[in-house]
Chains A and B, each alone.
Chain A
């Protein structure tokens, strides 16, 4: 056990304490899987990450570093806010990517591109599988959320690693007014993301879209700001013409956070999910 460089980063916010935190161990060489699992359970954050040199294969394919991501329940192949937070920590520690403006992260999912621009970092949304939810599921979820059928404008089962039931709702007030029965959602075993796209969503100067993420089955009744959910919601809604090609999301308001997620589809139809990050805790960890 020795002192290793450590940072706790707030992601999707530039105000410390108003985004979603991730704990980053900047040099995880020599730690066992059980060391990582134990530390991630102890931080009690939704995610803790461990930075490692890229594998030989990863490096040959362009990777700048390798990342392992753990929730308190175990290792994850990929996650959005930990990816951005760790990239911020890696850059802040004085590293530079091999390709200017583009960091390549190696993780269990494979290689993930992270674009650097104007003080924000954005990850390339992973491929999405989506399908219509079973007709029996939506009314059960709606009732656990306290929604009436006319308030739901669209529903889609979204799978880009984590599986979310996405619900497009009729107004920002509906989204922000929800008081879900988390115990029932937990019993139903389905994580749910709700979104409203406002009439001025294409103006990205102000957030025109609101999102909330309910994940009691994953152990987290409401997640403050959620990278992968925003990625899959954007893939669905942009493809179906239900949202503009770029927009700014507000998430976390009901938890006292002020998360901001920047969504952008590029000319190759790749969706990028980005935001700011700020280092809140900096020092060493005994591991």
Chain B
């Protein structure tokens, strides 16, 4: 056991404590999988990450660092906010990418490229595993679980890119913010809800702050239904769906976490075949951890 450099980073926000937190152990060398899992459970955060030097193959392919991502109970091959937060912590601690403006992360799914744009970082949305409309039974169930009329769900799609999100679009951001979902109806479903903040029916319109959509993410937690403050994977999948079918412009900002007192801001940008999902991060706690 030794002191290791540590940061707790707030992701998808430029304002401390308005995003989604992540614990980052900046030197995970020599830690067993079991120790990483136990520490993650202890932090009580949705994810903790452990930075490592790239493997020889990873380094040969251009990786700048390797990261292992854990949520309570298991290791994840990839996750959005932990990727942005880990990369932010790595840069903050003095990491220099091999190619300026581009950071290559080695993780469970392989190499992931991050784009650096000032103090913002973005990852390329991973391919959807399942897309296309939801079954009508699911849509009816989600409507009841969210407490809205079936006709309030204007559009729906599978948003499965690892996490098994079902996406639904409601009439307005106000409607999204007013939801009081019923855990006993939604059961084991992961549901992502999106509604326009701008003028209804006008693609690309925004509110005064320049935000196009309000997003909320509901999933079964260990104490009933839980809401995630700001969700990289869901926003990535929503962007692929909405841009793909022309319901969103090729560049927009989504807000998430409003009902939890957060002010998450997710920046989406399509560039060729790639959709970039990014945002700012703030280091809130920095010091050392005994591990």
Known: A17-B38, A21-B44, A44-B44. A6 touches B285 (CB 8 A): yes
- Most central of A10, A38, A43 by chain B CB within 10 Å: A43
In the complex the two chains form, is A6's CB within 8 Å of B17's CB?
no
Q: How many A-B residue pairs have CB under 8 A?
A: 77
Are B287 and A6 within 8 A (Cβ)? yes
Check if B289 sits within 8 Å of A280, measured CB to CB.
Answer: yes
Collect the chain A residues with CB atoms within 8 Å of residue B6's CB.
281, 283
**Shortest beta-carbon distance from B15 to chain A in Å:** 10
Chain A interface size range:
20 to 34
B14 to chain A minimum Cβ distance, whole angstroms, is 13
Contact A281 B21 (CB under 8 A): no
Q: Decide yes or no whether A83 CB sits under 8 A from chain B.
A: no
The reply to whether A282 and B287 form a contact with Cβ atoms under 8 Å apart is yes
CA distance A220 to B1 in the complex (A): 29
Whether A219 sits at the interface, judged by CB under 8 Å, is yes
Interface residue count on the B side (C-beta < 8 Å): 30
Q: Could you say which of B1, B261, B285, B291 contacts A285, with CB atoms under 8 Å apart?
A: B285
Q: Is A256 an interface residue (CB 8 A)?
A: yes
Contact with A along B7-48 (1 / 0, CB 8 A): 000100000110001000000000000010011011111000
Bound: A184/B284 CA distance, A: 37
Report whether A43 and B223 are in contact in the complex, using a CB–CB cutoff of 8 Å.
no
Cβ of B174 within 8 Å of any chain A Cβ, yes or no, is: no
Question: Is B152 an interface position by the 8 A CB rule?
Answer: no
Cβ-defined contact, B44 with A41, below 8 A: no
> CB of A279 within 8 A of chain B?
yes
* Residue in A16, A21, A183, A279 whose Cβ sees the most chain B Cβ within 10 Å: A16
Contact between chains at A278 and B285 (CB < 8 Å): no
When chains A and B are docked, how far (Å) is the Cα of A287 from the Cα of B286?
A: 12
Give bound CA distance, A202 to B224, whole Å. 40
Q: How far is the CA of A152 from the CA of B21 in the complex (A)?
A: 42
User: Are A286 and B16 in touch, CB under 8 angstroms?
Assistant: yes
From residue A60, how far is it (CB to closest CB) to chain B in Å?
35
Q: Which 7 A-B pairs have the closest CB atoms?
A: A283-B287, A42-B17, A17-B42, A281-B289, A285-B285, A44-B44, A38-B17
Chain A residues near B (Cβ < 8 Å): 1, 6, 10, 16-17, 21, 38-39, 41-46, 182-183, 186, 216, 219-221, 255-256, 278-287
- Could you list some 8 contacts between A and B, CB below 8 A? A21-B43, A42-B10, A42-B21, A42-B284, A220-B223, A279-B290, A280-B289, A281-B287
